[in-house]
Amino acid sequence: MSAQIAPAHDAPSTSFGGWREFIEDWSSDREAFRVSWGKAMMWIFLLSDTFIFSCFLTSYMTVRIASTVPWPIPSEVFALTIAGTPVPLILIAIMTFVLISSSGTMAMAVNFAYRRNRVPTAVLMLATAALGATFVGMQAFEWTKLIHEGVRPWGNPMGAPQFGSTFFMITGFHGLHVSAGVIYLLVVARRVLRGHYEKSGNYQIVEIAGLYWHFVDLVWVFIFALFYLW
């Protein structure tokens, strides 16, 4: 009789054992969704950030379409006077080139990280951070220029008052992401350069930082298209 009763006791333990393994995997630093826990959490964070930027950009398009006051012409608002001649969107073009170039240096850093080549990885990450800081500096110059011309979050002498609020909110939120990314890259690059990841041989943190940085660059493409080309 004991041989017949044993399977009845084994079934619940197998079921609970599966749940126990599931909980242990998710509560420890292991893999989730067949990728590392850190990479999975970065993807979840980027997904949530995608919803936020989507809401901001959709709101911007709605406000612009519904505005009864003429919207400022981007080629005039974002023009720089060089040698007495206004050059439309020159600063924005340079900013975009700088940020897109930073994606290239970040991709090369990830490539060297997979090879466990410590010094080139750190140098390329520092170069990426420098390009990101340059972008933020040019964005600060752009903000200063518009504020000097009278653009405010609550008003705009060039046309629709909603222009100022949507512009400062969306570009400011993106600039905050770039600034945070620069700090993130500097911290990781420092740890790479000091050989922190040599002990484990796992440089996946560089790829995770790269995911964040490429996302920031991708968002800028949409901001560039909607704010400066539309």
pLDDT tens profile 105-117: 999 999 999 888 8
Report pLDDT digits (tens) over 182-196. 999 999 999 998 888
Rounded Cα–Cα distance for residues 176 and 222 (Å) = 16
Cβ–Cβ < 8 Å for 156, 163: yes
If one compares 127 and 203, the residue with the highest pLDDT of the two is 127
Of 226, 108, 223, 124, whose CA–CA distance to 174 is shortest? 223
* CATH 1.20.120.80 for domain 33-229: yes
Count of CB atoms situated within 10 Å of the CB of 53: 18
Structure pTM? 0.83
